[in-house]
Chain A
């Protein structure tokens, strides 16, 4: 065991609440243990809420390999030149120092569900009473023939933020005059439904400023996409003639790439490109499969508590799950984390558990001060998490409303990152 257990801050509060809360879980001696795998939108939020609200009654360990988490949300705005990379970087310092979470920078390599332990790449294992997995996504091998992870430096995905995002931006800035950027868009379901199209908007924005004769091509296997009317209206308005989307009826779903030659073959037609942004098909983060918690590509969960349908001691959050109607977004993962945190605390310490409610809003930036949004509220039933009401921005909205919508998204970013990392 290379974990150094921290002495808990706020022991006074812990003592006080022990008096009032019956200890429900007695299987392990000492404090009940929660292990969270993945310190992203779902995992960081869940760890923080459990530590904060149990006030020392639960021992929380967060396993996350990277020391700096770059949010995918707003990474497109970095590409567009609206944010710098530092502004989307977050550390785990406060989760450790202010919330007493035991942050372990390592990979989880497997889960022994009988022994209830998580094994680590660095050796050793961590026991849990409840495990929370929020590992995000990995890519489906072979979904774009010619591309695999070894090609990600020639043809970046930038669909996990950080060095990939930086690389993609550098490639775009280095495009020759009048050069070509090709995006290979992913099939459903994938993380952040409007993400690829917000990215197109941001790429068009920088190219319009630095390289206005450049071309942008999207090869898309999907008939329709999120906020389509809004994006297409925006591209027409701000980036006239720059963006060409090849949908499935024109072979946009029949794509192979050659990273060495930097070519994309779209339904038999070979395009020589300067930047190729391949966003492959996606599946639950590998640890879910390793733990035997997936059916098909995703991990099925019960929306009442986000508990796995295959293991009652494991909750799964965010992009990795198959839960029903919620899109795979940071907002959704954060919303699901709070429901799971409440359920886990309820199970381990007997704290009150209320009916689950979820919500999501995804803002996208199309051009300077031109923001749009789509959102919905959700409630669980026995079958899935179901949408109960929704809204979306309208085409033709006035500039003041679009600007207010963009400003709102900045407020949201501050709100959600504080909610994740304290």
Chain B
């Protein structure tokens, strides 16, 4: 704005000069000439001033960025140091005394005793290797499992269901691994992992403590959201025993059929026909408790009561 005003005034000044040449100079002409020059100068000063203010502001921003970077560098360095100490320590990192962030997470799940976990892991070794030089066998190797997207370890051929859970957003963390170990099918219906599950919570927390030694430094293991509740996967016998109302199930199922194809095709969306009833029930409860990812299914399941899930299962079970 200041600039255009300046140009405007100097144009006026120029006009005055031309007029002066034609009619002879008057004091007023000189004054207006001077005024024009001054206004010009002022507007130049104003714009360089503005540029300076800009630069100062940018400087301040840069400074802020630098201090942010410094802070994150410091955190990273700390993490590296901690990892080093942990690696050097004779005790495994789980035993390191930082109980709030390491031993328990916000879900209330806890890591157990890694050396006992190693013993429990013996039953897994026929399929899974872990530690230095571990390679994929019947199952993928488990180094670095914490924080890894499900079904995302390069070069291993997963079941379609596992791959789908991965693209839906399932990541292996304390809570999801705990749920998967407890009952693999609750999380991944047609998983290739042919394993009934570890029902004893102590076994699971011990094995998880053992596994975690072979993942990135513990500080980097994502914590579950602080508000999350510990979520049980295992359903009570009463819930599993509910006999569903097939008529009601048929009505409720009409909502499923908008997306899930009735001929059993699983293009883009998994088939839900001819599913063992119990698998169906545990899967729906896992969505309801938000242990399984997928926003549509979480939403659908969240408003189904235990009876409604049983009704759906009963309806789908009698479809041939």
Contacts and interface: CB of A to CB of B under 8 A. Distances in A.
A422 B306 CA distance: 31
B168 A391 contact: no
Contacts of A376: 299
Interface in B153-181: 164, 166-169
Contacts of A354: 248, 251-252
- Looking at B265, B268, B269, B299, the one whose CB has the most chain A CB atoms below 10 A away is B268
Interface in B261-320: 261-263, 265-269, 295-296, 298-300, 302-303
B258 A416 contact: yes
B295 A391 contact: yes
B169 A352 contact: no
A336 B184 CA distance: 36
Nearest 3 Cβ contacts at the A-B interface: A411-B268, A411-B269, A391-B295
Given A412-B268, A412-B269, A335 B259 contact: no
Interface of A: 49, 331, 334-335, 338, 342, 352, 354, 357, 359, 361, 373, 375-377, 379, 388-391, 400-401, 403-404, 407-412, 414-416, 418-419
Contact of A377 (B251, B257, B299): B299
- Looking at B247, B302, B303, the one whose CB has the most chain A CB atoms below 10 A away is B303
Contacts of A375: 295-296, 299
Nearest to B248: A354
A418 B255 contact: no
Contacts of B167: 400-401, 403-404
B261 A411 contact: yes
18 contacts: A335-B255, A335-B258, A352-B247, A359-B299, A361-B259, A373-B295, A379-B303, A389-B303, A391-B295, A401-B167, A404-B168, A407-B268, A409-B268, A411-B259, A412-B259, A415-B259, A415-B261, A415-B269
A394 to B, nearest CB: 10
A398 to B, nearest CB: 9
Interface of B: 164, 166-169, 247-248, 251-252, 254-255, 257-263, 265-269, 295-296, 298-300, 302-303
Given A404-B168, A415-B259, A415-B261, A388 B303 contact: yes
A64 to B, nearest CB: 21
Contacts of B303: 357, 377, 379, 388-389
B51 to A, nearest CB: 28
Contact of A401 (B169, B255, B300): B169
B299 A357 contact: no
B212 to A, nearest CB: 25
Contacts of B268: 407-412, 414
A408 B167 CA distance: 11
A404 B254 CA distance: 23
A407 to B, nearest CB: 4
Nearest to B149: A400
Contact of A334 (B164, B258, B267): B258
A389 B299 contact: yes
Nearest to B267: A411
A49 B258 contact: no
B252 A357 contact: yes
Nearest to B311: A354
B294 to A, nearest CB: 9
Contact of B300 (A377, A403, A416): A377
Nearest to B298: A391
Contacts of A409: 268
Contacts of A49: 254
Contacts of A410: 267-268
